[in-house]
Chains A and B, each alone.
Chain A
Amino acid sequence: MNYFLGIDVGSVSTNLVVIDEDSRLLSKVYLRTRGQPIKAIQEGMKQLLKNVGDRIEISGVGTTGSGRHLAGIMVGADTVKNEITAHAVAALHFDPEVRTVIEIGGQDSKIIILRDGVVTDFAMNTVCAAGTGSFLDQQANRLNIPIEEFGRYALQSKKPVRIAGRCAVFAESDMIHKQQVGYNLEDIIRGLCQALVRNYINNLAKGKDISPKIIFQGGVAANIGMKAAFEEAFNQEVIVPQHHDVMGAIGAALLAKDEMKKKNSTDFRGFDVSEIDFKVSSFECGGCPNRCEVVNFHMEEKIIARWGDRCGKWKNI
């Protein structure tokens, strides 16, 4: 049996999955990135090794997410793909009839429009991160409610309060004002979910043809309050897949499986990358007034990659 590893390194979470050649999920690891992707990847590999590592051999590796290049270099990826493509591939695998994918992660939110199994349009938040996982996390924290409970609170509301969307800063201060005049928590939370969905639609979905099936994935999909708010806004059923939190990683693994049809052998360095010493050093290039911060990526003393320069002087080692 062949097995494929998919790694999704996002700003908030780092996820790893292993699938078999029939695309069945064998193991999944969900970790917080905590601003230290290298550590998170190594920790994830360690856990995978514990879960399945000694029983299987990996025949292909794919990486995705904002840390995909870093992860790709570290583990020796066979394919490095952007998160839009990875999420689309995973959603199609989950349900070939999907036509709309809502994906909300820690820092990014995306909409992907598919027709007959092909991505025809997408959008990703640009100017604002309101409505993404980090903001919800922060609000849950402020209200002293575990994030897992957030959605349940929202569903208990009978009369949602209107909260200003548009911008996380407006939303937060509007919420605080409404708390102070005595609205109850459930109604405020439901109002917040509605505001975030409104914001999502205004920022990303405007002008796009939202048609079923609609799949909602990413960390925020765990929030039943957000799911309900989307259903209310679209007047449609919104489906949350079982492994919604690791769909990016599943997509990366599926892409790796595809890639290995064209390639002879994998570049995977093995699970023991968790034992290898990876280091980052940087210097400021004085070649021009841009003063780019150039990053050196070391594997055991040897520089294996470099990035950060705008002119390409250092990129090629």
Chain B
Amino acid sequence: MSVIRFNKAINMALSEEMKRDANVFIAGEDVAEAGGSFGVTKGLLNEFGESRVVDTPISEGAIIGLAVGSSLTGLKPVVEIMFMDFMAVCFDQIINQAAKMRYMSGGKMSLPLVIRTQAGAGFNAGPQHSQSLEALLMHIPGIKVVMPSNPYDAKGLLKTAIRDENPVIFIENKMLYGLKGEVPDEEYVVPFGKANIVRKGTDVTIVALGQMVNKAKSVTKQLEQQGISAELIDPRTITPLDKDTIVNSVAKTGRLVIVHEAVKTGGVGAEIAALVQEEVFDYLDAPIQRVAAPFTPVPYSKPLENYFLPDEQKIIEAVKKVCIGRQFPQLVGRD
């Protein structure tokens, strides 16, 4: 085992997969010489040369088009859209091209490509550099969407993404790059569609996405001290979504809180809540709660961004809200 940072984990996954498969290449703005805006692709130019680590012009539409065309014809691109916000500039290539081609061709075309991008608030980067847009992507059949929450998963999931035959969007929350975690020295992969049960518990299920997993994790410890045993689930990929793990957990605990950083309205939490009520409505002891951002753009100023971001306190409040009642009479009137 080694303890490494999240950005290094991604770097290692890229390097290992490029060694393993000569068709894998990287392209994006400032990924080569500069090593990426967050140091994620550092050293890869030296290791693999200019033909496999490609600096592109500022041309997001063409970057995704490059990935679509080259993957259709035999290469395996891993391209970078520097900030997820900039995906809005290339949505045609993602939504109408990458996501549709296999289907439209009756399964004849194959697009093994990965789009790495960076999302989330927390750096006061303002409304056009802080968004979490995963729900827009989850809504589109034909692409897979990955949201790692720690270095171990990031490395293993990215390797899976690169080996996948489908277009995969790999979302790196910008607050995670510095996070350290244990990663095995030997080769491993993390499969898609297999949620991680971060912590087992019996009273309430918390499903958290991406960076919010870490906030929820610290919350579960505090809840434990107050006599609430929370089960924490990190889906790791939202397409495919591991419905079974979530549903089974809710059937056991009877309570569900969903936590994500994106705005609540039309968010991934709405999808998860709907799935749960379709499958295990009769097991629920309390209405499902969603902890998410308000229906606003991400503001710049510190007090505003803090207000926008879901925090531990809000998660605790939501958990208490669903736990008030039968098993936890001591909580009544205390929220």
Q: Do A and B truly interact?
A: no
Seen from chain A, the residues whose Cβ lies within 8 Å of a Cβ on chain B are none
Seen from chain B, the residues whose Cβ lies within 8 Å of a Cβ on chain A are none
